[in-house]
A and B are shown apart, each in its own frame.
Chain A
Amino acid sequence: QVDLVESGGGVVQPGRSLRLSCAASGFTFNHYAMHWVRQAPGKGLEWVAGVSHDGGNQYQADSVKGRFTISRDNSKNTLDLQLNSLRVDDTAVYYCAREVSVLWGTMGHFDSWGQGTLVTVAS
C-alpha cells in the first residue's frame, strides 16, 4: 500500500524559509518521479516542482523558480521541498504526489497523494 506522509508545514513570516518533507513507503521509491502540488485556500491545484526518479533532474513552476528547491534521498525514501523567500501568496496546502509516467519525457499522472501539509505565510 502506497503511503506518502508530508511534514514540516507551519506558520512563517514573509521572507523566511521552511523545509517540507515527504516520507514514502509501500513502493520502490527510486522507480518513480515525485512532485509537489499545492492548493491555496479555496483555490485550485497548482503544480510546484518535480524531481526525476534518480534525483538527476528537477523542475519548478515559474512562480517558485529561484526560491523553492526540490530534492530527494532515495536511501531514506524521502522527498523534500526547501521554501525560501516565502511570500503571502505561497500560503497553501502542499501535497506530495507520485508520478506514473506513460511516455518517456512526458509528465504522466499523479496516482498517489499524501494528506498534505499546510504552509501559512503571514506577518
Chain B
Amino acid sequence: DIQMTQSPSSLSASVGDTVTITCRASQSISGYVNWYQQKPGKVPRLLIYTASTLQSGVPSRFSGSGSGTDFTLTISSLQPEDSATYYCQQAKTFGGGTKVAIK
C-alpha cells in the first residue's frame, strides 16, 4: 500500500501569512491527491482534488500543486477561520494530518 507522509504535523502562523503543507507519497502516484480541512468537532471538508482543482465554494486562497511523490497545499493570506487540521488523501490512504494554529 502507498503511504502518505504529511509534514509538518503542526504549525503556527500569523494572519496574512502564507502556509505550506507537504504530503509525500511512498511511491510515484498519478496526481490523484486530495486535501481536506477539519475543524474541531466538525466533519471533514473537501478543499482540493486531483492535486490542484479547487472544490466549489472553497476560497481561492487555498491552492494545491505537485506531481510524482510530492504534493503541497498552500494557504495564502491565512485567515483566523483557517485554524484547523488538514489531511491529504490518496485513494484509501490519508496522511497523518497537519494542525494549523493562528498566532
Contact = CB atoms under 8 A, between A and B. Distances in A.
Interface of A: 37, 44-47, 50, 59, 61, 95, 100, 102-103, 106-111, 113-116
A116 B43 CA distance: 8
Is chain A's binding surface mostly helix, strand, loop or mixed?
A: strand
Given A106-B91, A109-B89, A45 B50 contact: no
Contacts of B97: 44-45
B1 to A, nearest CB: 8
Given A102-B50, A108-B32, A45 B94 contact: yes
A47 B1 CA distance: 13
Given A102-B32, A107-B92, 8 more contacts: A45-B94, A103-B30, A103-B32, A110-B89, A111-B46, A113-B43, A113-B45, A115-B43
A44 B98 CA distance: 10
Interface in B5-55: 30, 32, 34, 36, 38, 43-46, 49-50, 55
A5 to B, nearest CB: 12
B32 A47 contact: no
20 contacts: A37-B44, A44-B87, A45-B36, A45-B38, A45-B87, A45-B89, A46-B94, A47-B92, A50-B92, A102-B49, A107-B32, A107-B92, A109-B34, A109-B46, A110-B36, A110-B44, A110-B89, A111-B49, A111-B55, A115-B43
A100 B53 CA distance: 13
A46 B85 CA distance: 14
A113 B44 CA distance: 7
A108 B49 contact: yes
A61 B93 CA distance: 10
Given A47-B94, A59-B92, A106-B32, A114 B49 contact: no
A99 to B, nearest CB: 10
Contacts of A95: 43-44
Contacts of A103: 30, 32
Contact of B92 (A44, A61, A111): A61
